[in-house]
Amino acid sequence: MATCGNIFANLSISCTDKPTGGLEQQIVLINRADIDLTASVVDSTLSSSAGTHKVTSLVCKAGKTGYEISSYNDKRLLLAAFNLNRNEDGPNDYTHSINIRAFDLSEETLVFLKGLGEGAEVVAVIQYNDKGALSANAFGVYGFSKGLKVGEMAYNSNENKGMTMITLASQEPDLEPFPPMLYFDTDYATGLAAFENKFATA
């Protein structure tokens, strides 16, 4: 019988890398169908004594790209979150979610909102403020297995400075099997270059 539910690592606080939370205010959203799964590499394993959980190569299909959502660097308008859903009648699963904002109501923005509303399924790559030693923990991948879909989309001209608030999240029954994965390709600089290139393939 396979036993997956062991722990085998210590968790300790670093005196030099204090936890601070927050995201860098750029998120790359990729249509899930545009990810080249033959060229992308997922290193995610779990046994009773060891495990891995990262994407080491993330590549779009030819001619496809991700799209950057950016905000003010000094604020926390973009947000990422995940939580465990405990199921008594089956394996546990996870809800991944990303909160973004649309800053205007231009035609381009409205078409973006329309696309989300009509069923876009995206994967989000985010960059944490806390990057860890050698920035090995800089990037997270949300919704890789099942995709994030629009959960809430709300605009009110008298609230939130007229910005449209959007939540992209795992939706029932397509919840994620695991927490968000790390994205770590070779080293921080290589991963950052791919991130800034929006994982595009010519």
Partner 1 sequence: MSVDELILYSAKEVRANPDLFKEYIRLYTEEIGKKPNCATCQFSGTYERWVGNHSTASKKLNKMSNNTFTLIKTKRAIVVPFTGGQVINEDATDDLVRLYLDQVQGAARVVREANFTKLPDEPKAVEISAVPKAKRPRKKVRNGKG
List contacts with partner 1 (CB under 8 A). Answer: 36, 39, 41, 56-57, 59, 185-187, 189-190, 192-194, 196-197, 200-202
List strands edge to edge, sheet with 149-154: 79-85, 93-102, 164-169, 149-154
Cβ-based nearer residue to partner 1, 103 or 188 = 188
Cβ-based nearer residue to partner 1, 171 or 201 = 201
DSSP string, 155-200: --TTSGGGPEEEEEE-BTTB-BSSSPEEE--SSHHHHHHHHHTTT-
- Bridge-partner residues for 198, per DSSP? none
Shortest Å distance, C-beta 137 to partner 1? 16
Cβ-based nearer residue to partner 1, 58 or 102 = 58
- What's the number of CA atoms in the CB half-sphere (13 Å) around residue 32? 17
Cβ-based nearer residue to partner 1, 105 or 192 = 192
**Could you give the angle at the alpha carbon of 140 between the alpha carbons of 38 and 162, nearest 5°?**
115
Shortest Å distance, C-beta 195 to partner 1? 9
Residues comprising the chain, all counted: 202
Cβ-based nearer residue to partner 1, 70 or 171 = 70
Shortest Å distance, C-beta 28 to partner 1? 12
Alpha-carbon span 141 to 43, nearest angstrom = 13
Shortest Å distance, C-beta 40 to partner 1? 9
Shortest Å distance, C-beta 200 to partner 1? 8
